[in-house]
């Protein structure tokens, strides 16, 4: 599973556990509902760690608690293709 998918699932699980919705979480965390919705719907692939921190603060959990979940046991980060693509663009200039 990709890291972004694991992050989405973890956020959705936390929302469900606390019986709140995306709008309520975005308000509590002080982040744009559109940013959170786009990430959770897959329209946006990446989310900054700072936003995860805001979510943790809003849910009164530590960042370590957020990542201390079995959902993160078998993840991989697939950023090589983007990095390689960017290197090729920079080399071509």
Asked whether 39 and 47 are in contact (CB, 8 A), the reply is: yes
The CA-to-CA distance between both ends of the chain, in Å, stands at 35
Q: 1 by DSSP, 3-state: which?
A: coil
Instruction: Give pLDDT tens digits for 32-50.
Output: 999 999 999 999 988 999 9
Asked whether 47 and 4 are in contact (CB, 8 A), the reply is: yes
Instruction: Give pLDDT tens digits for 2-25.
Output: 899 999 999 999 999 999 999 999
SS3 of 18-39: the string is: CCCCHHHHHHHHCCCHHHHHHH
Whether pTM exceeds 0.85: no
Quickly state the pLDDT bin for 88 (edges 50, 70, 90). very low
Asked whether 56 and 65 are in contact (CB, 8 A), the reply is: yes
Domains of the chain and CATH, by start:
3-92 (1.10.260.40)
> Is the pLDDT at 66 greater than 80, yes or no?
yes
């Amino acid at each position: 599973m990709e890291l972004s998918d694991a992050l989405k699932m973890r956020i959705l699980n936390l929302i469900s556990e606390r019986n709140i919705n995306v709008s309520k979480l975005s308000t509590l965390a002080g982040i744009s509902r559109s940013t959170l919705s786009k990430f959770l719907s897959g329209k946006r692939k990446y989310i900054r760690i700072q936003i995860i921190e805001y979510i943790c603060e809003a849910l009164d959990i530590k960042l370590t608690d957020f990542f201390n979940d079995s959902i993160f046991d078998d993840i991989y980060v697939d950023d090589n293709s983007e990095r390689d693509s960017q290197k090729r663009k920079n080399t071509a200039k």
